[in-house]
Structure 1
């Protein structure tokens, strides 16, 4: 045998001498150790009271967050040394956080001290279940419910239902932060009789002589600007609803809807700037056709024909604002809008 084959032979001899170890036997399930609550009914009752108290306190904290929402002023502040924060938000967050913690802690205490904790083993089975297995699973679930003590430990059950039930209240109350209910806000704007029409950029009032045929101006009511300093929130709400477009068309090309014969001034017409589909602002104007287009969903309105819809998903024409001229020759509103502005909705009737 050549020397170069010696290492391979030695390796084979060493491998043949290795003894293969036997598999480690299954140790099985360790003997069950009983807990104090398994052998002492008083200890079990004491834990039951603890768990119920956690659940009930969680419900009270959830209720407390609702009370704090209304009772603590929105502008109040809590100061902790160099740190500070809004008191309303901090108290609500603390109450809800503690409520969730107590629900979790109570559930863990219940599982560790009162539910059956005996270990079991089960052989693997096919992915699908036979009718017999389904029946076994159902029986096992019912047995688990019985062993958890949920049906017979009424104190825990009542506390859990109380905590979970009251925990839903903050979610309902906090919906109020989405804003005030709209009510009939879309039915009214700040337009009224005698309010001047002003350019929405310069706030300058508009005279008929300022406009030429084919021109479109984005405008607003003259009483909008003072609201900006008085109440910024009211200003934004009013601005969103009262925006208008003013357009001048040759009188011979206007098809006036019945009852609106005196709503224009020498071919000058005024319509709401808010699309009646979903409320997008519109001002894309085509002079020769007198069509104005909404950029969001391409609803198209004919301003020379009462702003009726000629294309797109909008369900009704743009509301028209009746115009007149005051003693100084400026365009003013004859009245407010005679119909709601903005998107269509079924409550309008």
Structure 2
């Protein structure tokens, strides 16, 4: 037993000093990289051209699928239901959007993979590990490898693939742009008009007290008071009441005519009664604080202050516009009525807003 162990000692000693592992039959010897086997596309130009056409076809299909996505979004009714086996009854729009977008993205990925496996260089290059911070030689070597890889990819030489890839990548983001339409309905002219737009000189709208839900007469508005009103016909039971009152809410003040500084504002009122939008022109908070002596209205959110005796101009705070004013008068029965919409859009300022 001891004799056998002594015979093995020199061999172990030699291995520890770097003796060739193959000499002693080390089963874990590094076999190295297998010999490179050329692909068919490497030796047959016709096969390479066929692969190029296949890749380009996938990119073209991606572009067509993106166009199909946009066409489906524009043409299919959101409420349309269809039966598709084995899914059952599904939304036609959702199914069309999912299929077209899925095909568009899949073809880009499949085309890129097929390109890499058939036309790009497949030589394996071993590299030793190195410190995280590379020296100049390593950096230069990486740059050269990148240039070599770019040249071997055929990206510059195979224009058909390059152009169709650019086309598919340029069209796919349009799917996301189209989906932005689902953020909500287009405002159209809703930002420019309120429920008071229904009022006309030939068919004026009465002002209804928000608390009593009754039409108001001029004598109901006491000098120095602040009263809130809504247009006739707008009821709290209406499904869209909250949306409408957010634009239609009105505040009435009565100021001695001689104290009204702005002549245009005085002409839009009736015997010192002025009607202004209750919605602050900063971020749309409801204004509810009124200083009787100064005729100032204060927004409680950010302290924007408006001088109601001077056309509701801003005298303090972040608001960018005066409060829009509603032209009022009285009908034959003496009730306060509006003869048209506000003179400017109601609510927060925005860059398109008329000044």
Quick check: TM above 0.5? yes
Alignment-derived partner of residue 206 in structure 1? 216
User: 2:95 aligned with 1:79, yes or no?
Assistant: no
Correspondence 1:101-112 to 2 at 5 A: 101-112=106-117
Deviation at 1:163, TM superposition (A): 1.5
Give 1:276 shift: 1.6
Asked if structure 1 preserves the Cα contact closer than 8 Å seen for 2:82 and 2:90, the reply is yes
Aligned residue in 1 for 2:6: none
Q: RMSD of the TM alignment (CA)? A: 3.4
SS of aligned partner of 1:260: helix
> 1:178 maps to what in 2?
183
Q: Does 1:197 align with 2:190?
A: no
SS at match of 1:186: coil
Q: How does 1:142-161 map to 2 (within 5 A)?
A: 142-161=147-166
Q: Name structure 2 gaps, 5 residues minimum.
A: 1-11, 19-27
Contact conserved, 2:255 with 2:309, CA < 8 A, in 1?
no
| Pairing partner for 1:35 from 33, 36, 39 | 39
Cα distance change on mapping 1:327 and 1:59 into 2, 3 Å:
same
User: Residue 262 of structure 2 aligns with which residue?
Assistant: 257
**Unpaired segments ≥5 residues, structure 1:** 1-18
Specify which of 60, 66, 75 is matched with residue 56 of structure 1: 60
Q: Do the aligned residues in 2 keep the contact of 1:263 with 1:322 (CA within 8 Å)?
A: yes
Aligned residues of 2:221 and 2:253 also touching (Cα < 8 A) = yes
Which TM-score applies when normalising by structure 2? Answer: 0.77
Once residues 97 and 310 of structure 1 are traced to their aligned partners in structure 2, the CA distance between those partners, rounded to angstroms, is 56
User: Cα offset for 1:161?
Assistant: 1.9
Alignment check: 8 A CA contact 2:260 2:266 kept: no
2:289 corresponds to:
285
Q: Does the 8 Å CA contact 2:251/2:278 hold for their aligned counterparts? A: no
Contact 1:54 1:102 in 2 (8 A): yes
- Decide which of 328, 334, 349 is 1:329's aligned counterpart: 334
CA distance in 2 between partners of 1:25 and 1:314 (Å):
79
CA drift of 1:237 comes to 6.6
Structure 2 residue aligned with 1:275? 280
CA distance in 2, matches of 1:31, 1:291: 89
Which residue of 82, 93, 97 maps to 1:92? Answer: 97
Q: Report what 1:12 is aligned to.
A: none
Per the alignment, in what secondary structure is the counterpart of residue 265 of structure 2?
coil
CA deviations on 1:282-312 (whole Å, 9 max, x unpaired) are 2231444544333443322233443222221
TM-score normalised by structure 1 residue count: 0.78
Aligned to 1:70: 74
Q: Give the 5 Å matches for 1:215-226.
A: 215-222=225-232, 224=234
After superposition, give the CA deviation of every residue in 1:170-209 in whole Å (9 maximum; x if it has no partner): 2333333334555655333342331222245775423334
**Number of equivalent positions:** 326
